[in-house]
Structure formats: C-alpha cells, structure tokens
Chains A and B, each alone.
Chain A
Amino acid sequence: MLQDILQVDFLRYAFLSGIMIGIICPVIGVFIVLRKMSLMADGMSHMALSGIAAGLALQRYLPFLYFINPFYIGMLFSVLGSFCIRPLMKLYPFYREFVIPIILASAIGLSVVFISLADAFNKDLFGYLFGSLITISHTDFLVVLIVLVIVLGFVILCYKPLLILTFDEEGSLVSKRGKQVTDILFTMIVALVVSVTMNIVGVLLVSAMMIIPVAKGMQLAKSFKQVFIYSIIFAEFDIIGGLVVSYQFNWSTGGTIVVLAFVLFMIVLLIKKTVQSISRSKPVSYSSDETVKF
C-alpha cells in the first residue's frame, strides 16, 4: 500500500490532497456549524453539481468554450446559489426548514436536465457525485494547495470578525458593512472549499466532510480551539482511512469515507453517553465563556 502511494502518481496526489482537505473542511466546518449554516453548505454543494453539469452541457454545444473548466462554473453556481437561499428562506419566515428540500431537489433537478443535455450519464459522472481517486491530477493537487493557503490565511486574518459574526450576529461590535463583507467573503470561501472537496468525496457528500468531523469534535472538546484540533484529527482519520480502504477493496471513495466518518461518530456518541452516565454526579463544565452548549 505504502509503496503504491509512493510510486503511483495519481494515488500520491489523491492522498496529499486528502490530507489537505482534512484540514480545510473542518476549519471552515466549525464556523458553518456554529453559524447554523449546515443546510446552506448542503445547498451550495448541490448547486455546484448543477454548475458542473451546465459546464459539461456548455462544452458540448459551444465547443469553442473548451477552456472553461466545468469546475469553475460549479464554483460560480454555488456562490450564486448561496445568494438565492436567503431570499427563499424569507418567503417562509415561520418555516425555514421547508426551503431545504426545495433547494436541494431543484439543484439536482437542474443538474439532471443539464447532464442529459450534455449526454454525460457515464462513469465520470459517478466521480463527480461520489468522488474518485483517479480523477485527481497534478493541477487539482495544486488547486487544493492554493485553497488551503487561502482558507488558512482567511481564517487567521479574519479570525476576530469571523468570531463576532459567529457568536454575536446582532451585536454592534463591528460595523454593518464590515459584517457584510466578512459574510460574503466567508460564503465565497465555502464555495471554494466545496468545489475542491468535491474531487475526493463527491458533490453529494461534501457537506458530510464539513459537518461530521465537527460534530465529533464538539462532543469531546472543552473549548473553542479544542473543537478545531479534534475536528481536524477526526477528519484526517476519516479521509486517510477511507482512502486506504476504498483503494484496497475498490469501493466508492466518497461512500467509504462518509460511512467510516458516521460509524466513528456513533461510537463517539456512545462512549460519551456511557462516560456521562458513569460520572453523572459530576457536572460537566464548559470553559468557553459563550452560552453555546455542545
């Protein structure tokens, strides 16, 4: 296995990209979960699929646009989608959850139409949907590296505004414009992360990679910073474990990663429950000063 990774090009790129994605996803995922945007991330990843499908259709009918990679159109669609989700939620003010199936299904419906137009119901499509090891090229690897730098730079530079946006959305600590700028930047970064993660785990499973590791981290962590550390550890474990298993048995990459992540999540929940019931007399203390309970 290890020899394969060292010798075979695409495997090496897949593993390196996987390791970087294991850092990117949870870092952004923590903010997504705490800002209660997990459904929005889901909607954005599905919109990215319709973008890719539109790109494929475009390439078929307008061949002179061949230089536009479908991935960029996917990214564009997912940013556009994020701007559609909020107005839709305003249409049903008492019932925001109702909007999610509408967005998810509409995005997939559109993608199916575009895919049919592009006549692309083939093996490649499964790569887009559920991820694949083989599709990762040297360029993809470089793109992931660039995105890693952008994401880390963004989180470190905008750490304070992001925290305020997350924990004190109504507060007046930052000017309204400042908040809006951070919000838009954050949305665009999420779209970036969605489109690079898609390569490995597939469009339908991207949101899992952002949310499940954070859900596990939140169960164990005792402070905000610990959530980051635990989530990254869990994400790395899920991705590397999933890649190894899926390569060994020739299973679907994204499927293996997500099922592994979910099983681990259930185990963490179970362990936490048993520990809690053993030491019920001791009150659990949270060292973070926010009123958020994990």
Chain B
Amino acid sequence: MIEFFQNLSFMKTAFLVGILIGGITPLIGVFIFARRLPHISESLSQMNLAGVAIGSTIGSAVPYLSGINPRIYGVIFALIGAFLVELLRKVFRDFSDMSIPIILSFGTGLGALFFSILHGFNADFFNYLFGSLIAVNQSDLNNTLIISFIVVIILLIFYRPLLLITFDAEYAQVTGIRKKWIDAIFMVLMALTISVSVQAVGVMLVTGMMTLPIATAIFIGKSFKSVIFLSIIFGEAAVLIGLVLSYYLSIATGGAIITFSLLCFLLVIGVKHIYRMSMRRHIQK
C-alpha cells in the first residue's frame, strides 16, 4: 500500500481522468437507456475506432493535415455511424436488429484495416482497444476536463427537453420542442463522451461503461434522479477500484473496470432475487 501512495503523483493524472470519465459516461448512459439508444452507442464507439485509424492514416499521408488530432476524426466518424445505423434500420424494418452487428463489424473491420495499413498492429492499438488509463498525460487530462465540462453544461441546458422527449413525446411536440435538433445534439454529446472515455476503457468496452452501471442502478433506484445518482456512484466505484486493481494485478485497465462492474451487476441481481424470494415466502406465511 505504501508503494501505491509513493506512486500516487504518477497516478494522479490517471485518477483525475478516471474520476471525470466515471462521472460523465454513466450520466450519458442513463439518457441512452431512457431514450432506448444502446444500439447507437455501440456503433458510435466502433465507428470511433475506424475514425481514429483513418485519421492517423490521413495525418501521416498528408503532412499539412497532421496537426488535426485523430480524435476529431473519431467524433465525425461516430456521427456517420449513427446515421448509417438509422438508415439500415429503415431498410430492414422487420429485421432491424441486424443493422447493429453490420455497423459494429464494419467499424471494427475498417479500424483494423487502417491500423494494419498504417503501421501494422502495435501496442498503441491494444491500448486503444482495451484502454490504458495509466498512459494518460497532462494534455489528455485537459482535453477530458474541457469535454466533460461541455457535456455536463449542455446536458443541464437541455435536461428538460430531453426528459420531455423521452417520457412524453406528444407533450414535447405541443410545446414546440424540435425533436430532430435535440436528437442531433444528443448524438454529438454521445460521440464526445465516447471519444474521451476510450482513454479509460478502450473502444471495445466503452458501451459497457455506459450500460453496466445503469443496469445495476435500475434495480435499486426508485426515481429517474436516483437512478442517475446511483449509476454515477457505480461508475465512479468501478473506475477507481478497477484502476487500483489493474495496478496491483497488472491487468489492462479496461478489463479490470468492466469486470468489476459486471461483478457489481451480478451481485445486485443476486441480492434482489434472494430478497424477492424471501419476501414471497414471508407473504405466503
């Protein structure tokens, strides 16, 4: 433990980025759950991979574009992915669940293809897939701070319209809320959140961070606000404990974080199940 605190200054940036990500990802995740969009978040994260791969290829091929951060391409491609999923869902009305694996694997395939074109597979690619919070530096922290701030502010501004569209679409239309605009803003928020969360848990696991804490919180929370609150707590716990575990057991950060949330999720389901069983028995008596 002493050794751990000695390394704390080195881990400080990682912890700060982790705390920010552990907060905003479940926050967006609650709205994704309520608005029934998990399929979009999946494809957004995979297309983000493709975008970053293509971005770094363009950056190395065209010198005067190399100043652009590949993350920006990631956000743009994520938005294209969201559009493609909606398009495919319209094409296959009766088999709309097919559109998710198609876009998912297209994003992954495109990412793998461009990474292999660029410089073959290397450790960077692993970090990108599975996350490496320990590798973040000061500029990553600054970026994360700015983006988290923007996401939270926009969410606060559009909190009411978002809730209205989610739970009472007709009333929202009557009050003159433009559904398309709110949807578009929400997509951008998702793409931004994914592009920063990738640092902690990696592309393959971002959606886990957006769903597992919420899936756990829903079994406990009694109102929308309490679900938001609980999911943020579960998210923070997962990131912090996952970070410590990954440090001690030398496991990839993303894996530790998601496995910890999975254990939380299974524990809550189990406890709830036992509680219900005992209640039933109590009533029968």
A interface residue numbers (CB < 8 A to B)? 33-34, 36, 38-39, 41-42, 91-92, 95, 97-98, 100-102, 104-106, 108-113, 115-117, 121, 123, 125-126, 129-130, 202, 204-205, 207-208, 211-212, 215, 218, 249-252, 254-259, 262, 265, 269, 292-293
- Interface pair B36/A110, CB less than 8 Å apart: no
Closest chain A CB from B90 CB (angstroms) = 11
- Which residues of the partner chain A approach B262 to less than 8 Å between Cβ atoms? 106, 109-110
- Which residues of the partner chain B approach A92 to less than 8 Å between Cβ atoms? 215
With A39-B97, A121-B126, A208-B102 known as contacts, the answer to whether A116 contacts B258 (CB < 8 A) is no
Number of residue pairs A-B, CB distance < 8 angstroms: 187
- Interface pair A104/B42, CB less than 8 Å apart: yes
Interface centre among A38, A105, A129 (most CB of B within 10 A): A105
- Interface pair B207/A262, CB less than 8 Å apart: no
With A207-B101, A251-B116, A255-B111 known as contacts, the answer to whether A101 contacts B252 (CB < 8 A) is no
Closest chain A CB from B75 CB (angstroms) = 20
- Interface pair A258/B208, CB less than 8 Å apart: no
- Interface pair B98/A101, CB less than 8 Å apart: no
- Interface pair B205/A109, CB less than 8 Å apart: yes
Output the nearest chain B residue to A250 by Cβ-Cβ distance. B116
- Interface pair B92/A102, CB less than 8 Å apart: no
Cα distance A34–B211 in the bound complex, in angstroms: 27
Given known contacts A101-B41, A130-B116, A255-B108, what 17 new A-B pairs fall within 8 Å (CB)? Answer: A38-B101, A98-B215, A100-B39, A101-B42, A104-B207, A105-B207, A109-B257, A109-B259, A113-B259, A115-B252, A116-B250, A130-B108, A130-B121, A204-B204, A258-B108, A265-B102, A269-B91
Interface residues of B in 95-117 (CB under 8 A from A): 95, 97-98, 100-102, 104-106, 108-117
- Which residues of the partner chain B approach A104 to less than 8 Å between Cβ atoms? 42, 207-208
Output the nearest chain B residue to A106 by Cβ-Cβ distance. B262
Cα distance A51–B114 in the bound complex, in angstroms: 27
- Interface pair B255/A111, CB less than 8 Å apart: yes
Out of A97, A102, A125, A251, name the residue touching B208 (CB < 8 Å): A102
Residues of B within 8 A of A (CB-CB), count: 58
Closest chain B CB from A272 CB (angstroms) = 9
- Which residues of the partner chain B approach A101 to less than 8 Å between Cβ atoms? 38, 41-42, 207-208, 210-211
Would you mind naming 25 contact pairs between A and B with Cβ atoms under 8 Å apart? Answer: A34-B95, A42-B104, A98-B33, A102-B211, A105-B205, A106-B212, A110-B262, A112-B205, A112-B251, A112-B255, A113-B256, A116-B250, A130-B116, A130-B121, A204-B105, A205-B109, A205-B112, A207-B105, A215-B92, A215-B102, A249-B117, A257-B109, A259-B106, A259-B113, A269-B91
- Interface pair B38/A38, CB less than 8 Å apart: no
Output the nearest chain A residue to B215 by Cβ-Cβ distance. A102
- Interface pair A105/B204, CB less than 8 Å apart: yes
With A98-B33, A110-B262 known as contacts, the answer to whether A252 contacts B101 (CB < 8 A) is no
- Interface pair B105/A205, CB less than 8 Å apart: yes
- Interface pair A126/B100, CB less than 8 Å apart: no
Interface centre among A42, A100, A202, A269 (most CB of B within 10 A): A100
Closest chain B CB from A177 CB (angstroms) = 28
Closest chain B CB from A113 CB (angstroms) = 4
Out of B39, B102, B111, B249, name the residue touching A262 (CB < 8 Å): B102
Out of B41, B98, B112, B206, name the residue touching A130 (CB < 8 Å): B112
- Interface pair B98/A33, CB less than 8 Å apart: yes
With A113-B256, A208-B106, A208-B109 known as contacts, the answer to whether A95 contacts B36 (CB < 8 A) is yes
Closest chain A CB from B216 CB (angstroms) = 10
Cα distance A255–B114 in the bound complex, in angstroms: 8
- Which residues of the partner chain A approach B76 to less than 8 Å between Cβ atoms? none
With A254-B112, A259-B113 known as contacts, the answer to whether A38 contacts B259 (CB < 8 A) is no
CB of B93 closer than 8 Å to a CB of A: yes
Interface centre among A33, A95, A215 (most CB of B within 10 A): A215
- Which residues of the partner chain B approach A97 to less than 8 Å between Cβ atoms? 36, 38-39, 97
CB of B51 closer than 8 Å to a CB of A: no
- Interface pair A38/B113, CB less than 8 Å apart: no
CB of B233 closer than 8 Å to a CB of A: no
With A105-B258, A256-B113 known as contacts, the answer to whether A91 contacts B251 (CB < 8 A) is no
Output the nearest chain A residue to B214 by Cβ-Cβ distance. A98
Out of B104, B210, B254, B261, name the residue touching A112 (CB < 8 Å): B254
